[in-house]
Structure 1
């Protein structure tokens, strides 16, 4: 096997500063899908999209997806903040799953093994949810990821009846174990961000809606 120094080359150069081989999911025009969606969601001026069939199609797909999620929300009786929050979480996870992200190195430096960022993030979210009462949200890899190690930022929804410091420690442990046993990736730091605290009554109301 060869010794990898950079992720596999995808053959495109980006207009937002990405270099070939950065693992960014690109459209037929060469633009990053992440950037096109971000510009659209911020309602930023984007003249290229108006004349580009690739960018226009990507935005149309996202619009149809959001319409479907909003339709499910509107059909639910007693729509409230909890249901709206659920719809937002669904969209956040869907966006993450549709963006494969960078290829991340696995194993020792002399091994040519890689895993896509979205796959690793999915494994870490699943690991976090093995902690009772925890629901995982966004999972991001911070900075450059190499064989020395990765730094992870993971958002969770936590049960209100558990000490948050203890819960965060258990989530970190679950992520470290998943990285080591399932992926063979060295994770040096896990930032656990509690995005919401859920009480038992909130969960019962959510199921009843």
Structure 2
């Protein structure tokens, strides 16, 4: 089921062909670099390439992902299936959060302030998950004006990210909510949290926020979505 308050072009149109798979300046796909690291492999190109090295440098955030996965598990896994589940969760977070994406504008139109999509998406996911009973999945951010020319090629992280034109953006986010929530109210609350984070935490102009409720989960800890708190 889905709650979408701001209909717009399909998500594929927002990111274009291959939007989820960035190509580094060296020609390698970011997904290939991640997969190689994931399997423990290497080659002469990766070993000597500054762009691949910069992409792999983002793995410093892996410690945060590991801690989040352990918190979700509730305990340190010992071995076997538990450890495998932890690794799966960690890699899910890594792939979701560390893909840099395009470079997005911050501040006023005449300012030269930018942020990579992955960092903005992490901010919005964190804000949305402040809503009790909400777990966020995909978060995509794209220029509202898809026809506007790009400002160039981002070089801040060395990972070949595209730079969006300056101007407002559209946010598309997927989330699961607790069974006790009214879906429209949950979507509205998520939207308000993201809008507040965009304004106060980032200084990003967001023109529309599409919230897609992808799942409803059974919550047994006493959460009451109707009142936005706990009984």
C-alpha distance after superposition, 1:149-172 (max 9, x if no partner): 111111112101110100000000
Deviation at 1:87, TM superposition (A): 7.3
Q: Tell me, yes or no, if the aligned pair for 1:127 and 1:178 is still in contact at 8 Å.
A: yes
Higher relative contact order (CA 8 A, sep 6+): 2
C-alpha distance after superposition, 1:43-94 (max 9, x if no partner): xxxxxxx987439x98xx9xxx9xx99xx695339x9xxxx7x976653321
Where do 1:94-173 residues align within 5 Å? Answer: 94-143=94-143, 144=146, 145-173=164-192
Name the TM-score, length of structure 1 as normaliser.
0.60
Deviation at 1:194, TM superposition (A): 1.6
Q: Tell me, yes or no, if the aligned pair for 2:133 and 2:219 is still in contact at 8 Å.
A: no
Structure 2 CA distance for partners of 1:169 and 1:99, relative to 1, 3 Å? same
Partner of residue 155, structure 2: none
Partner of residue 31, structure 1: 28
Where do 1:186-197 residues align within 5 Å? Answer: 186-197=205-216
Name the TM-score, length of structure 2 as normaliser.
0.55
Q: Tell me, yes or no, if the aligned pair for 1:151 and 1:188 is still in contact at 8 Å.
A: yes
Is 1:76 aligned to 2:102, yes or no?
no
Q: Tell me, yes or no, if the aligned pair for 2:101 and 2:117 is still in contact at 8 Å.
A: yes
Structure 2 CA distance for partners of 1:89 and 1:165, relative to 1, 3 Å? farther
Q: Tell me, yes or no, if the aligned pair for 1:142 and 1:152 is still in contact at 8 Å.
A: yes
In the alignment of these two chains, the number of paired residues is 161
Match of 2:193 among 149, 167, 174: 174
Partner of residue 54, structure 1: 46
Deviation at 1:146, TM superposition (A): 3.7
User: Whose helix proportion is higher, 1 or 2?
Assistant: 1
Structure 2 CA distance for partners of 1:159 and 1:185, relative to 1, 3 Å? same
> What SS class does the counterpart of residue 123 from structure 2 fall into?
helix
> What SS class does the counterpart of residue 132 from structure 1 fall into?
coil
Query: What are structure 1's unaligned runs of at least 5 residues?
Result: 1-15, 19-23, 39-49, 204-209
> What SS class does the counterpart of residue 171 from structure 2 fall into?
strand
Query: What are structure 2's unaligned runs of at least 5 residues?
Result: 1-16, 36-41, 57-61, 70-76, 147-163, 223-231
